[in-house]
Amino acid sequence: MVIAYVSPNHEECCFDLQDEYTELQNFPNIEEFISFYAANRNRDIVLLYKVENLEDIQALETMNFSNNVYMIVIGKDDVAFSLLAGKLGVDIYLNYEQIDSDDIIQYITNSQNVIKQRKGNSNVSVFTGINGGVGTTTITMNLAKTIADEHLDKNVLFLDFTDTKAISNLFFDVIQPSKTIIDIASTQSLDVDELYNHGLIKLSNNLFFVPGIQKHTDKEEFGRTENIQVFLNFIMQIKELFDFILIDVGVFKDQDLEIDIQELADDIFVITEFNIPSMSILKTYIDIIDRSGWYNKAHIIANRADAYGSVTHEEAKKILSKGLKHNFEIAHSLPNDALHLRECWNEAKLVCDVYPEAPFMEGLRVMINKFFIFDREVTQIEKVHNKSIFSRVKEWL
């Protein structure tokens, strides 16, 4: 998330927010902000726009913002100003004589929920591990299959964006996929036949899959500047067809595509272990999360949390939060279930299929109920939206 402060004459609000947000951009006029936005369309942006006259507000009328911009206009106590701002779609109009930086911070925090609602009820979740072998792919695959199996009204898509030769296709019994994530991103529409021809695989009535790369040389495609926007556009388009999209990006790397995918995601799940070497690597990643404004959507998942020699939750929290603005909690812990996981891994089988009642699966179901499926009152708008998604996917069956 980016905080963009636009004011031709005043910078005091920007200065007040600098201690709280490192991703804060200051612009002297709305035109410069527009140029910035054009290059950052996939990022969630909170626009703080301080105005002096009605013409400043009117300048917003021709701006073609998508649903990822939350607009806060700050001006004088004048009904004409607030009415015009509301007419042009401004989210909040504030009287600059009656607010302080704490008020602004609260509005910024609330903005993330608003942007999420605008993007729709589908959920895009990214899974990344602090190093290889911590269980990122195992967790993501079993989550996707379990959500689909136990919630038949939910349409689930698993995308493999790992930049090493993918193995998830073996667990889904797709031994030699003819098309991969490289191919499907080149689709220009949501035409079902075209998606199937470019790599989308139907595993069950409500579980779908796009295999990862099958050649190490294909990883170069992820780094090409011209391809990055293609991949991002594909994710934003395909989410219209699914309730849940789970993306495995493998080991965390500070690379453009991986960072951009995490920027547009609704949730980021960081998989780690509870040992000192892992905590040290995780601390570096947490610094990036803190700077990027992802704090509210990042969830640290401890795998094998009760393994021999693991640090305690309290020790982990102290290590992770030291020197940062936020105190990072451990969002969820999965047990050390080496007996079942090792057997399934060696045979390329999903734990949820072979040992559905294993301790690992018990922990995974708690995670599903906590982050994916939870009781809430469904509004009429959501009912219509969900019905629309179901109707579209039903055409595939």
Token pair listed for 138: 């195992």
User: Which pLDDT belongs to residue 263?
Assistant: 86
CA distance 392 to 397: 10
User: Which pLDDT belongs to residue 396?
Assistant: 47
- Count CB-CB contacts under 10 A for residue 176: 8
The answer to whether domain 2-118 and domain 123-394 are alike in fold is yes
Q: Got the DSSP string for 53-88?
A: SHHHHHGGGG----TTEEEEEEE-S-HHHHHHHHHT
Q: Please, are residues 135 and 190 in contact by the beta-carbon 8 Å criterion?
A: no
User: What's this model's pTM, rounded to 2 decimal places?
Assistant: 0.74
User: Which pLDDT belongs to residue 324?
Assistant: 65
Q: Domain-by-domain residue ranges, the chain?
A: 2-118, 123-394
User: Which pLDDT belongs to residue 326?
Assistant: 65
Chain centroid to CA 163? 18
Give how far Cα 345 sits from Cα of 110, 304, 356, 364, Å. 42, 15, 15, 17
Rounded to 5°, angle at Cα 345 from 367 and 135: 40
Token pair listed for 143: 């989550």
Q: Hey, what CATH class is 2-118 in?
A: alpha beta
Question: Could you read off the pLDDT tens digit of each residue along the chain, which spans 397 residues?
Answer: 788 889 877 666 677 787 777 788 889 888 898 888 887 776 788 999 999 999 999 988 877 777 789 999 999 999 999 999 999 889 999 998 888 788 888 888 888 778 777 766 689 999 999 888 899 999 999 999 999 999 998 999 999 999 989 999 999 999 999 999 999 877 767 777 888 888 999 999 999 999 999 988 888 888 888 888 889 888 988 888 899 999 999 998 878 888 889 988 989 999 998 887 777 788 778 877 777 778 788 899 999 888 766 777 777 777 776 766 666 778 999 999 999 999 999 999 999 999 999 999 999 999 999 999 865 433 333 444 444 444 444 444 4
123-394 folds as Rossmann fold (3.40.50)
CA distance 241 to 371: 20
